[in-house]
């Protein structure tokens, strides 16, 4: 099941290998216009068959003159579809339309001063004549195609932007999608609204209304099952399906005992109260602890957690199917919280019930095959949160930071035991509470708290010598988790977290800060 814009005409973002292709799509959506990412290998006829409201050509690492570099089929410009080129896409567009792209010898990377050409311009109207933009190019357009007005320049790009509004065509050498381009979003919106004629109608309310209709059409009068993990993706997906088909949905929550403090209660109490969903809770905490006993290798722990989850969920699913069968009903569908980045990174493929491993379930037996219901597969994480708020989910669930499928099992370096889990929960709860009190919990992507259970650190507490465990704080900032940087938290906040943890959590006498970016480090330690 897929999602489309209210008028069923997407803006297509053609990915030329840019690190920012998905970001462009997000910025289009922030302008309340629906967008999709498509590969540059997609034939133009196939693109146009989607009846796009506009096409945006992304940046990319190639030179337009390099052997094998992706090119733009001139046929794209023959059908009257508005097109906007960015960086490499701008150069490829210029070359396809008869302009000149040259090695100017003046490469530009990073912040660059852009000069808007005097006179009327659609892309830059109402914006400063001089503005800071983000550049990343070696080649540059030295001559615009015939019929295009040059509307901006920089020291290294004689044609930094051009436009032919009457033909629905425009482009810029810089990256308007990144925050470093001061007025980039305005430039993008000028193209969308004033050149392409798009209307800002793709709202959260429309998304919910549209998905409810699609879900009802797909499921009909059949029963559907959903595995709740406690995370925002599965919660919002389940809430959407519940809104659409009510008691035809049964949610299964496997309490493996590896969640943080209060998260199991959020599912069992707050989520049920907000949605009225039919919830089946499986208390499997002892089973998971037994499976993890003696394991210290991270991969071994992950496999053990995944294996047990499959077995527990399988048994619960069989019970739901049997109950439905006793009432003459069939369970044919499984809800999955697939997001748009998952779709793009997997090539946009679809399939039968191959439940994603990072949702903790995989490899269900053949006799438990379901058709997938994926109401979030067209959405980015920030859009999912907005839909959750629209559906009335509690803020504690909607704004929950990303959390690994194996939970605290991979935030304990060493064997996982009940005592160590309780120790880590208390330390983690303190860190989250202080970040929230300081108003910082939404400024960071996530803040894993890691227990070095196999390490002993000497300390002094109560006038005595101690040998406690160190705890690591790992606050990171990111947009997509592909790359991340450590968050520069205020020293007073860090000090308060450290003081509370060492005072309030037994057997912890040292708190350290991880200041490693990704790469080279990962966000999680295991």
Cite the active site residues. Answer: 87, 175, 177
Q: Residue 51: in which H helix or E strand, if any?
A: none
3-state secondary structure of 142: strand
Residue reference for tokens 């001559």:
143
- Nearest one of 360, 287, 306, 369 to 332, comparing CA atoms: 369
CA 447 – CA 153 distance, rounded (Å):
42
Residue reference for tokens 């508005």:
82
In this structure, the number of other CB atoms found within 10 A of the CB of residue 69 comes to 17
Q: Is 385 exposed, middle or buried (0-12, 13-18, 19+ CB in 10 A)?
A: buried
Residue 400 near residue 381 (C-beta atoms within 8 A) = no
CA 381 – CA 237 distance, rounded (Å):
12
β-bridge mates for residue 512, sequence order:
472
295-304, long-range: CB within 8 Å, 24+ apart, which pairs? 295/415, 295/416, 296/414, 296/415, 296/454, 298/410, 298/526, 301/406, 301/409, 301/410, 301/416, 301/526, 302/406, 302/409, 302/410, 302/526
Residue reference for tokens 């190019």:
137
3-state secondary structure of 400: coil
Q: Are strands 249-255 and 223-228 parallel, antiparallel or unpaired?
A: parallel
CA 163 – CA 54 distance, rounded (Å):
15
CA 152 – CA 71 distance, rounded (Å):
24
3-state secondary structure of 86: strand
Number of continuous H segments (helices) and E segments (strands) in the chain:
15, 22
Residue 369 near residue 352 (C-beta atoms within 8 A) = yes
Residue 306 near residue 360 (C-beta atoms within 8 A) = yes
CA 325 – CA 249 distance, rounded (Å):
14
Helix extents (H) in 181-279: 184-189, 204-219, 232-245, 263-265, 272-275
C-alpha distances in angstroms, 448 versus 370, 425, 433?
Answer: 34, 11, 13
Torsion from C-alpha of 221, 226, 232, 237, nearest 10 degrees: -20
CA 410 – CA 511 distance, rounded (Å):
18
Residue 311 near residue 283 (C-beta atoms within 8 A) = no
């Amino acid at each position: 099941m897929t999602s489309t814009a209210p008028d069923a005409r997407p803006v297509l973002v053609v990915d030329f290998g840019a690190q920012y292709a998905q970001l462009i799509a997000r910025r289009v959506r922030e302008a309340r216009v629906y967008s999709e990412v498509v590969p540059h290998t997609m034939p133009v006829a196939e693109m146009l068959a989607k009846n796009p409201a506009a096409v945006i050509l992304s940046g990319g690492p190639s030179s337009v003159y390099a052997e094998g570099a992706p090119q733009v089929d001139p046929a794209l410009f023959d059908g009257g579809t508005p097109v906007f080129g960015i960086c490499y896409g701008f150069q490829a567009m210029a070359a396809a339309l008869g302009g000149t792209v040259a090695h100017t010898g003046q490469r530009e990377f990073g912040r660059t001063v852009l000069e808007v050409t005097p006179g009327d311009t659609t892309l830059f109207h109402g914006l400063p004549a001089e503005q800071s933009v983000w550049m990343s190019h070696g080649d540059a357009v030295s001559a615009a195609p015939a019929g295009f007005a040059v509307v901006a320049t920089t020291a290294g790009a004689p044609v930094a932007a051009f436009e032919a509004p009457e033909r629905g065509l425009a482009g810029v050498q810089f990256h308007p999608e990144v925050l470093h381009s001061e007025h980039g979003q305005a430039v993008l919106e000028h193209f969308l609204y004033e050149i392409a004629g798009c209307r800002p109608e793709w709202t959260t309310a429309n998304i919910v209304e549209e998905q409810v209709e699609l879900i009802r059409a797909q499921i009909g009068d059949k029963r559907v099952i959903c595995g709740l993990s406690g995370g925002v993706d599965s919660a919002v997906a389940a809430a959407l399906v519940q809104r659409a088909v009510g008691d035809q949905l049964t949610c299964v929550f496997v309490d493996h005992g590896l969640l943080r403090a209060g998260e199991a209660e959020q599912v069992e109490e707050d989520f049920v109260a907000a949605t009225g969903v039919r919830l089946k809770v499986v208390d499997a905490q002892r089973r998971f602890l037994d499976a993890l006993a003696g394991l210290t290798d991270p991969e071994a722990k992950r496999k053990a957690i995944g294996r047990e989850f499959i077995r527990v969920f399988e048994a619960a699913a069989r019970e739901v199917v049997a109950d439905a069968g006793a009432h003459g009903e069939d369970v044919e569908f499984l809800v999955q919280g697939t997001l748009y980045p998952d779709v793009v990174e997997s090539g946009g493929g679809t399939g039968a019930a191959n439940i994603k491993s990072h949702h903790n379930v995989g490899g269900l037996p053949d006799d438990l095959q379901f058709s997938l219901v994926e109401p979030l597969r067209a959405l980015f994480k920030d859009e999912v949160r907005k839909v959750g708020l629209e559906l009335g989910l509690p803020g504690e669930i909607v704004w929950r930071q990303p959390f690994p499928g194996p939970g605290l099992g991979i935030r304990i370096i060493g064997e996982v035991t009940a005592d160590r889990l309780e120790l880590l929960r208390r330390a983690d709860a303190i860190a989250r509470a202080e970040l929230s009190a300081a108003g910082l919990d939404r400024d960071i992507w996530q803040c894993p708290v890691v227990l070095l259970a196999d390490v002993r650190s000497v300390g002094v507490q109560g006038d005595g010598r101690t040998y406690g465990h160190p705890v690591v704080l790992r606050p990171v900032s990111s947009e997509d988790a592909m790359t991340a940087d450590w968050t520069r938290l205020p020293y007073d906040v860090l000090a308060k977290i450290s003081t509370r943890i060492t005072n309030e959590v037994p057997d912890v006498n040292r708190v350290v800060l991880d200041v490693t970016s990704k790469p080279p480090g990962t966000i999680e330690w295991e």
